[in-house]
Amino acid sequence: AQTVTQSQPEMSVQEAETVTLSCTYDTSESDYYLFWYKQPPSRQMILVIRQEAYKQQNATENRFSVNFQKAAKSFSLKISDSQLGDAAMYFCYLLDSNYQLIWGAGTKLIIKP
């Protein structure tokens, strides 16, 4: 069975510092997509970043980047220059080529001013 594990229920970081959220997964598929979503207190789900498994290059979106280690089945999210607006729940999500989707349990990110 496919799984997505976010081992950090909660993380905190000082404003302007860098933080890394971990996500590990297990799938037997060779073709899949990985995503990080953010859910701020408004509860609106917002896409942060997307990674296609066939791409070796790590995805980057402004202050957000991923460390995608396919062999290790790891997909961590790095947030640089953390801002107060980054405070949210962060969810890791896997979609495979059969359209099977698995969500992680989430990591609550706290930003300390």
Distance between CA 24 and CA 30 in Å, rounded? 15
Do residues 56 and 67 lie in contact, with contact meaning Cβ atoms separated by under 8 Å? no
Where do runs of H (alpha helix) occur along 6-112?
none
Min CB(83)–another protein separation in Å: 22
Considering the complex, state which of residue 49 and residue 81 has its C-beta at the smaller distance from another protein: 49
Considering the complex, state which of residue 25 and residue 106 has its C-beta at the smaller distance from another protein: 106
Tokens 């995805």: give the residue.
59
Residues 56-75 that bind another protein (CB under 8 A): none
Q: What share of the chain is helix, strand, coil (3-state, %, to 5)?
A: 5, 55, 45
Considering the complex, state which of residue 33 and residue 64 has its C-beta at the smaller distance from another protein: 33
**Residue 104 interacts with another protein (CB under 8 A): yes or no:** yes
Distance between CA 86 and CA 74 in Å, rounded? 22
**Residue 91 interacts with another protein (CB under 8 A): yes or no:** yes
Considering the complex, state which of residue 68 and residue 93 has its C-beta at the smaller distance from another protein: 93
* Residues forming the site for another protein (CB under 8 A): 33, 35, 37, 42-47, 50, 52, 91, 93, 95, 99, 101, 103-106
